[in-house]
Structure 1
Amino acid sequence: MRQAMHRLRIATHGKGLVPFTHDVLAWVASTRIKMGVLTLWCRHTSASLTVQENADPTVLEDIKRYFEALVPEAHGRYIHDDEGPDDMPAHLRTMLTQTQLSIPVADGRPVLGTWQGLYLFEHRRHPHQRDIVLHLIGE
């Protein structure tokens, strides 16, 4: 059994979903681990991870609009607003999604479906540098 760990830094441009599937595929291939489990961990409380359709960009736009309606920014609505009106809504959106993913690896590749891609979901208005930790264990 072998293990490998890596950190990806992903630049965001404000709210939205940022694809990073190709970075993960390349790193997993570089480890030469053929079968195992890949864990992805987002080191932030105002951004999250998701597996989502990677073919039709309107899916990503609908997701973004849904979360804007579900957890709106509103002055005076939240107590916690240390970093502005998008601060607490970003934390709530992160709670509703996930900061960790586990994906099986077979034949040296994450087992993703044909239309699945990996995305960082940025919940803040302003650009950020986000860290994703990858941990692969297998043989």
Structure 2
Amino acid sequence: MDTDVIDVDTTRRRIVDLTDAVQGFCDGRGDGLCNVFVPHATAGVAIIETGAGSDDDLIDTLERLLPRDDRYRHAHGSFGHGADHVLPALVSPSVTVPVQAGRPLLGTWQSVVLVDLNRDNPQRSVRLSFLAA
């Protein structure tokens, strides 16, 4: 298995497109599987359409499902931070993409994105791993 870690800053964006990084990582590797994993308790990875409003729709939906208020038992950090710890149950911390001839087999409108609503920690690591066929 080949693996690498990329650093991502989410200060300005709650959803960060990782597709180019995934494609670059897979380039020249042949056939296999690429796993994208975020080793954080308050972030996730998703495959969605970007640029047509879906990014904002996802954020709005997650903020409705996980409001920032005092309902959470996990109460350290900023107000409502407990919601951030529930996020990975809804947005998985990893996705796996099939790769053929070094090219991730994503659909026409699919992008791999990091989802991070946590305002307490904008510095994220994302692990890319390739398992050859």
Q: TM-score, normalised by structure 2?
A: 0.92
Q: How much does 1:63 deviate? A: 0.9
Q: Which ranges in structure 1 are unaligned for 5 or more consecutive residues?
A: none
Aligned-residue Cα RMSD (Å) equals: 1.5
Residue 85 (structure 1) aligns with: 79
Partner of 1:11: 9
Q: Distance in 1 between matches of 2:73 and 2:57?
A: 28
1:96 aligned partner: 90
2:40 corresponds in structure 1 to 44
Report how many residues are paired: 133
1:27 and 2:22 matched: no
Q: Which amino acid aligns with 1:108?
A: G
Preserved CA contact (<8 Å) 2:72 2:80 = no
Partner residue, 1:70: 65
1:41-67, Cα deviation, whole Å (9 max, x unpaired):
1110111000000241x1111111111
In the TM superposition, what is the alpha-carbon distance from 1:86 to its structure 2 partner? 3.4
Question: Which residue is 2:100 aligned to?
Answer: 106
* Displacement after TM superposition at 1:15 (Å): 6.2
Task: Please say if residues 11 and 127 of structure 1, whose CA atoms lie closer than 8 Å, have aligned partners that are also in contact.
Answer: no
Bigger Rg, which one: 1
- In the alignment, what sits opposite 1:53? 49
For structure 2, the residue ranges without an aligned partner over 5 or more in a row are none
Aligned-partner Cα distance in 2 for 1:15–1:112: 23
**Aligned 8 A contact 2:10 2:123 in 1:** yes
SS in 2 for 1:135: strand
What is the TM-score normalised by the length of structure 1? 0.88
Query: Which one has the bigger strand percentage?
Result: 1
Counterparts of 2:7 and 2:130, CA distance in 1: 17
